Amino acid sequence: MIEFEYWQLLLFPLFFVLGWAAARIDIKHLVRESRALPRSYFQGLNFLLNEQPDKAIEAFIEVVKVDPQTVELHFALGNLFRRRGETERAIRMHQNLIERVDLSPELKLQALSELGQDFLKAGLLDRAEEVFSRLRGTSRDEEAKRNLLEIYQQEKDWQKAIAIAKEMPDYATQKEIANYYCELAAGEMINSRPDSARQYLDSALSLHRNCVRASVLQGDLLQQAGDLAAAIEAWKRIESQNPAYLAIVARKLQDAYLAQGQRDEGLQLLRGYLASYPSLDLLETVFQLVMDAEGPEAAYRLVRDELRRNPTLLGLDRLLEAQLLGVPPEKRADLELVRNLVHNHTRRLARYRCDNCGFKARHFYWRCPACGGWETYPPRRTEEFDLIP
């Protein structure tokens, strides 16, 4: 048991006095600092608390004019201007920081990086590229490389994009670099340079063997050269890479089989794909092919069986279309009314959706227009996401 001495009671008033003195010192220091701040600073805070951001910005600008040493406030205002789309004001703010002789080297690098972001937001890609190139080899090298990669993609300078992406294996994936090679190959094909296009596609597949886009373009290249059998094999390779993309080459495959006089073989292949890998786009292609080759009754049976496996409104739309061709004229009006109602409703379901950001579009993209992700648009319609894991 701890013994208690009465003289220890004298320590409590002493501790109280010391605490009170320390608090007084802190309060006096705080009061001195608050008195040193311009009145505009408190006005700006008041405007922010009252949800008046425009007036708050003007008040903080006045603070910057009165006290140019407020570096943090310069950065905060510059970033705020950029987010609000006022890029000219953001550029001026960050340029003023860079020109200050009393700024530390690290803060100058930060200001330079912010200036590059301003140029990027304003669409001044050449000036942004110049700024981020100056940051290479500094403490902000990784940040500079990421921004330069984005600039090269926007400028479609794929050679530079490949070079800098290879320096960032933890940031740029092999799938992305393979798509840069595919972009180069597509450009060579447009300019009738098949040999260089073939080299780019070989590079894409050696880097990323499951690059569906490279297989699609290889098939196109072989088809242009008249080697239909090899083109078919290139397109069929997609089944082992990612069967969800078979719908993209379904019509190409059938055209190649038709050109070789093998229509039935082509249709049988596509029927097998549809049975193994259900897809509304694939169903659309096979439906039209069966309609042309075997007539509306066979097309009707195809869609009916598919609806039993995977009930969708888009499939129902095709079923009604097939039925319309086989009903008597006196019953066609009512069926057309039902089909039109279903068709109008399915228009909003007939969209592709990015796996990465959820952006929806009527057309298929290899690169999402919203988030910039590569191959994040599987060729599945919106309605299919609720049916297929």
The length of the chain is: 389
> Which is it for the CA torsion 134, 140, 145, 146, positive or negative?
negative
**Residue 357 annotated as binding site:** yes
Q: What are phi and psi of 178, to 5 degrees?
A: -60, -35
**Residue 368 annotated as binding site:** yes
CA distances from 90 to 96, 97, 236, 245, 345 (A): 10, 11, 52, 44, 46
**Residue 211 annotated as binding site:** no
Query: Reduced to 3 states, what is the DSSP secondary structure of residue 374?
Result: strand
Q: E strands along 121-272, which residues?
A: none
Using CA atoms, how far apart are residues 339 and 325, in angstroms rounded to an integer? 12
- Is 314 in contact with 381 (CB distance < 8 Å)? yes
Question: Cα 349 to the chain's mean position, in Å?
Answer: 21
- Is 58 in contact with 77 (CB distance < 8 Å)? no
Using CA atoms, how far apart are residues 57 and 115, in angstroms rounded to an integer? 19
Torsion of CA 85, 90, 91, 95, to 10 degrees: -170
Cβ-in-10-Å burial (0-12, 13-18, 19+) of 23 comes to: exposed
Q: E strands along 37-190, which residues?
A: none
- Residue ranges for the known binding site are 354, 357, 368, 371
Binding-site residues from annotation for Fe cation: 354, 357, 368, 371
